[in-house]
Amino acid sequence: MDGKTSTYVRNDYLSVDMPIDSDVFRVPPGYNAPQQVHITQGDHVGKGVIISWITPHEPGSSTVIYWAENSEFKWQARGFFLTYKYFNYTSGYIHHCTIHNLEFDTNYYYEVGIGNITRQFWFKTPPPVGPHVPYTFGLIAGDLGQTYKSNTTLTHYEQSPAKGQTVLYVGDLSYADDYPFHNNTKWDTWGRFTERIAAYQPWIWTAGNHEIDFAPELGETKPFKPFTSRYHVPYRVSNSSSPLWYSIKRASAYIIVMSSYSAFGKYTPQYKWLEKELPKVNRTETPWLIVLMHSPIYNSYVTHYMEGETVRVMYEKWFVKYRVDVVFAGHVHAYERSERVSNIAYNIGNWLCRPINDQSAPVYITIGDGGNVEGLATAMTEPQPSYSAYREASFGHGILNIKNRTHAHFSWNRNQDGYAVVADSIWLRNRYWSHPEETSLAAFR
């Protein structure tokens, strides 16, 4: 099947940072008011939530008050706070509080702050884990940054009629390391910028290269320090030894997060964890197996071409063996969707080193098109390789709509002239439950 390269050409490939006085960066009113509020899943099955926020001047309270919609009772959960220093920057007080044992499929309100300076938000827990549970994930790309284009991407996601319920984020957040001395105030502006969604929907975090922040010339030799200080994840519940790789269940999906920039060779902690993790996935309970990483392993753009090759050599055979449904990545500032292919037959003497059609393989989707200051990746390898089904150098966001255990629909929405336009879409048939007798796609059209 011949791949398609979009003929759409953007008017402007560049992205310009929004000024510091933009309303999207506004500090909430009141002395020491909580800011940069965001949530993520707090356990393995969706009955827990980690709530994080920052108070800029003094610790205040790390307690969260929360209650179910229409309930007369309020509960409290106690968290903790931390701070960090990076070169000439000292963070505010970063609070993390985990709420446990929530009811499934329930609206909750929560309040952070102290005294007269409190702020209230809400979220909805997912339905119970199960094979037939429909659920909608948003992909606010990766590589978002904080430009005018980034703001358009968030706005389009907010306005999407598909209404994503949880965001899968594939790395590269604030781009603070693109500024002199890894300007960590950019982490603060990014946290305020994304709060309008991240305080209400869980974001499932993946680390990218812009989160490494390794700068020995500045005296900073601890990788990922700002990222891991600000964005906590429930890695211990999946027996991971690091917050950079972990797994969760949500509705009918099993989501595995990998770290492209941590050691992944044989015998490393990430390798040994994934080696045990993949066989544990029960596809009769969570039929949809999704992997998130930052650097794509199938990429036909000139930018970052073949950077993911070492990860592919190590892990592609596992993705095929365990019938991963889809792998989402970022890094390349553009969009691309692959065919179902694999390149796992090679050994040193057989010369079998080309991707071939493989219906046990995942679809690989690169969605690093959030809008960051580095702009679009526009140069593509030619001719378009056979593994590439569709590619386009535009900014946008994605929606993964799981219908049941057998079918899901993915659409990619281009930021075009102020509107979100569906530029690519595909029906995904579950790799584990894929049988000819399964329900026809016509039932969902």
DSSP state of 26: P
- Helices 185-198 and 148-159, interaxial angle, to 10°? 20
Q: For the chain, what is the radius of gyration of the CA atoms? A: 21
Task: Enumerate residues 6+ apart whose C-beta is below 8 A from 386.
Answer: 3, 339, 341, 355
The pairs formed by 441-445 with CB atoms below 8 angstroms and a separation of 24 or more are 441/407, 444/403, 444/407, 444/409
pLDDT given at position 435: 59
Task: Enumerate residues 6+ apart whose C-beta is below 8 A from 244.
Answer: 207, 224, 228, 235, 257, 259, 262, 270
* Burial grade of 64 (CB within 10 A; 0-12, 13-18, 19 or more): buried
pLDDT given at position 333: 95
Spatial contact of 97 and 51, defined as CB atoms under 8 Å apart = yes
Task: Enumerate residues 6+ apart whose C-beta is below 8 A from 148.
Answer: 15, 16, 18, 371
Q: Which of 156, 182, 304, 333 is catalytic?
A: 304
Backbone angles phi, psi at 125, to 5 degrees: -75, 155
pLDDT given at position 235: 98
Interatomic CA distance for residues 341 and 355, integer angstroms? 6
pLDDT tens readout for residues 233-257: 999 999 999 999 999 999 999 999 9
Comparing CA positions, the residue from 255, 328, 282, 257 lying closest to residue 46 is 255
Is 304 annotated in the active site?
Answer: yes
Interatomic CA distance for residues 205 and 293, integer angstroms? 10
Query: pLDDT band at 436, cuts 50/70/90?
Result: very low
- pTM of the full structure: 0.96
Task: Enumerate residues 6+ apart whose C-beta is below 8 A from 400.
Answer: 136, 137, 138, 139, 168, 290, 326, 408, 409, 410
pLDDT tens readout for residues 275-295: 999 999 999 999 999 999 999
Given a cut of 50, is residue 102 above it in pLDDT?
Answer: yes
**Percent of the chain beyond pLDDT 90?**
89
β partners of residue 131: none
pLDDT given at position 7: 83
pLDDT given at position 434: 82
pLDDT given at position 1: 61
Query: pLDDT band at 87, cuts 50/70/90?
Result: very high
Interatomic CA distance for residues 137 and 154, integer angstroms? 14
Torsion of CA 143, 56, 75, 71, to 10 degrees: -70
